[in-house]
Amino acid sequence: MLAPNDPSEDRMSMPRPGWRRGQRWLFAGVLVVLLCLLVANVIALTRHPQDRAEASSGPRRTLVEVSGSHCGKGWDAPAPGVQVFALHNTSAASAEVFLENPRSHVMYGEVEDIGPGTTRELTVRLGRGAYAFKCLPEDADAVTGPTVRIRKGRSGPAAAPVTTHDLIPPAIAYQKWVGEGLDKVARLAETLRDAVDRGDLGAARTAWLPAHLQYERMGAAYDAFGDADGRINGTDAGLPGGTHDKDFTGFHRVEFGLWHGQSAHELRAPAAALLKAVTALREDWAQTRMGPAQLGLRAHEILENTVQFELTGRTDFGSGSNLATARANVDGTSEVLSRLHPILARRYAHLPSLEGDLRDAGRTLDGLRDDGHWPPLERLSRTQRERVDARFGDLVEHLASVATLCDPRRTV
């Protein structure tokens, strides 16, 4: 507090240096705000009128009827841009709906399982071109609604639907490849069994990894393997006795014993059971038929499982070979994509990039090997781990598009 008659009182009416600095900052802040408002106004004025309308009122919404007799009824005022169609099923059966080009039949969007009396939304971006709704009622023929034309604008992505018929040739080719792979697994499993029988556990540890990796490369067929996959490549998850449970069998049971000090005597029965299960699967495979729809889905799931189980170490029972398994899974995914390439090349513009990313993932893993040996996950540096996780995370995301595109659709 200032004393009475203090000469400094005369300075109270003068601007203090601190006040001037505050004034300058206040002025600068106001100037920034004004500039931002000016830029925003310029952007708003230079936007396409359609974009300004969407920004102010949201996407155009249209109620469209789904039925055998009035498919597509209600879309009477076509316009370019983002559209939200409320698809209302007025029929007595569930229905699936496509929005397609009526001439080329490429699809811009679809909605499945619209129940009787229910409404589901479809959001798409439409531009210059011809469009029509195709309604596919359950247990009835497909019906195509009236053609609607838009004169300007750019549409969103579109792709021709894949049918079960399209997927049969690649499925047959892949099934043949799996049969050849099972022959190799059986031979390698026999080498493993023989090493255990001789009591040469060093040789058995050397033989275990090639046999396991050969099996892992056939990941797209696991669903077709049925219960045999659990006997061959199952883990102790859910077993009351864990790794000592009698139902813990296959590659990982042998792995656990080889890297946890079990004797050759203790491992003879598990190694023999593994060879028996692989041999039985190989013999049954000629009579097995893979569902064609599995290929696209498994192309995604192979690496999804890799991220979930291999790159977390959840399937390591002592060998420290998760990175080697991840590399085999990359090979398995590449094999599936090679079979699907003719289908995807006409439908997925990012296929070359995806295939390049898959090769890069393989090279990333290969670069982690030290003198031909795969390090366990815990020996990776943080940078190495982040690089691997990023590679595989991106791949899983992109492979989801493959699964979606290769989901077979009914078209008639």
CATH code for the domain of 355: 1.20.1420.20
Q: What is the mean pLDDT of residues 149-160?
A: 94
Q: Global pTM? A: 0.80
- Do 299 and 198 reside in the same domain of the chain? yes
**Beta-ladder partners of 122:** 85
Give per-residue pLDDT as tens, 362-378.
999 999 999 989 999 99
Q: Which band of pLDDT confidence, cut at 50, 70 and 90, is reported for residue 7?
A: very low
pLDDT at position 15 is: 33
What is the Cα 4 distance to its own chain's centre? 79
- Do 186 and 299 reside in the same domain of the chain? yes
Q: Among 37-46, 274-283, 323-332, which is the least confidently predicted range?
A: 37-46
pLDDT at position 57 is: 61
- The number of distinct structural domains making up the chain is 2
**pLDDT cut 90: percent of the chain above it:** 80
Structural domain includes residue 143: yes
Cα gap 63→72, rounded to integer Å: 9
pLDDT at position 383 is: 97
Burial 388-402 (b: 16+ CB within 10 A, else e): beebbeebbebbebb
- Do 194 and 255 reside in the same domain of the chain? yes
- Do 219 and 173 reside in the same domain of the chain? yes
The larger pLDDT score, comparing residue 39 to residue 166, is at: 166
- Do 344 and 399 reside in the same domain of the chain? yes
Q: What are the φ and ψ backbone dihedral angles of 51, each rounded to 5 degrees?
A: -65, -40
The answer, yes or no, to whether residue 32 has pLDDT greater than 60, is no
CB 145 within 8 A of CB 71: yes
pLDDT at position 322 is: 98
Structural domain includes residue 26: no
- Do 91 and 174 reside in the same domain of the chain? no
The larger pLDDT score, comparing residue 56 to residue 357, is at: 357
Query: What domain range includes position 73?
Result: 58-150
CB 349 within 8 A of CB 315: no
Q: Which of 150, 180, 214 is the last residue of a domain?
A: 150
How many residues are listed for the chain in this entry? 412
Q: What is the mean pLDDT of residues 77-93?
A: 95
pLDDT at position 26 is: 36
pLDDT at position 194 is: 98
* Owner of token pair 């600095």: 21
Encoded tokens for 1:
């507090």
Structural domain includes residue 411: no
Q: Which of 102, 123, 150 is the last residue of a domain?
A: 150
Distances (CA, A) of 33 to 29, 36, 308, 311, 366: 6, 5, 47, 48, 53
Q: Which of 127, 150, 173 is the last residue of a domain?
A: 150
Cα gap 191→275, rounded to integer Å: 9
- Do 267 and 368 reside in the same domain of the chain? yes
- Do 146 and 168 reside in the same domain of the chain? no
Q: Nearest to residue 199, comparing CAs of 271, 302, 115?
A: 271
Structural domain includes residue 49: no
**Beta-ladder partners of 143:** 135
pLDDT at position 58 is: 80
Q: Which band of pLDDT confidence, cut at 50, 70 and 90, is reported for residue 118?
A: very high
Cα gap 247→239, rounded to integer Å: 7
Give per-residue pLDDT as tens, 98-114.
999 999 999 999 999 99
- Do 211 and 317 reside in the same domain of the chain? yes
- Do 256 and 125 reside in the same domain of the chain? no
- Do 172 and 289 reside in the same domain of the chain? yes
Q: Which helix (H) or strand (E) holds 82?
A: strand 81-89
Domain CATH for 68: 2.60.40.420
The answer, yes or no, to whether residue 357 has pLDDT greater than 50, is yes
pLDDT at position 372 is: 87
Average pLDDT in the chain: 87
pLDDT at position 14 is: 31
Structural domain includes residue 272: yes
CB 356 within 8 A of CB 398: no
Structural domain includes residue 24: no
Structural domain includes residue 233: yes
- Do 312 and 207 reside in the same domain of the chain? yes
Structural domain includes residue 23: no
The larger pLDDT score, comparing residue 317 to residue 54, is at: 317
pLDDT at position 9 is: 35
